Amino acid sequence: MTENHVKRQQMKPWGRQLKGENSWTMFKVISEFVEGFETMNEMGPCVSIFGSARTKPDDPYYKKAVDIARLLTEAGYGVITGGGPGIMEAGNKGAHLYGGRSVGLNIDLPFEQGHNKYIDVDSNLNFRYFFVRKVMFVKYAQALVALPGGFGTMDELFEVLTLVQTNKITKMPIILVGTGFWTGLKSWIKEVMMEQHRNVNPEDMDLMPITDDPEEVVQIINDFYKEKGEELGPNYEL
* Range in 7-11, 92-96, 214-218 with the lowest mean pLDDT: 7-11
Answer yes or no: is pLDDT of 13 > 90. no
**pTM for this entry:** 0.90
pLDDT tens profile 192-208: 999 999 999 999 999 99
How far lies 195's CA from each of 17, 103, 105, 188, 191, in Å? Answer: 48, 40, 37, 10, 5
User: Which among 32, 94, 34, 33 is positioned nearest to 63, based on CA atoms?
Assistant: 94
Is a pLDDT exceeding 60 seen at residue 110? Answer: yes
What domains lie within the chain, and their CATH numbers? Answer: 27-226 (3.40.50.450)
Q: Which residues contact 117 (CB under 8 A, 6 or more apart)?
A: none
pLDDT at 28 over 80: yes
**132-169 per-position pLDDT tens digit:** 999 999 999 999 999 999 999 999 999 999 999 999 99
> Average pLDDT over the chain, rounded to whole?
92
How confident is the model over 77-96, as pLDDT tens digits?
Answer: 999 999 999 999 999 999 99
| Pairing between β-strand 46-50 and β-strand 141-146 as defined by DSSP bridges | parallel
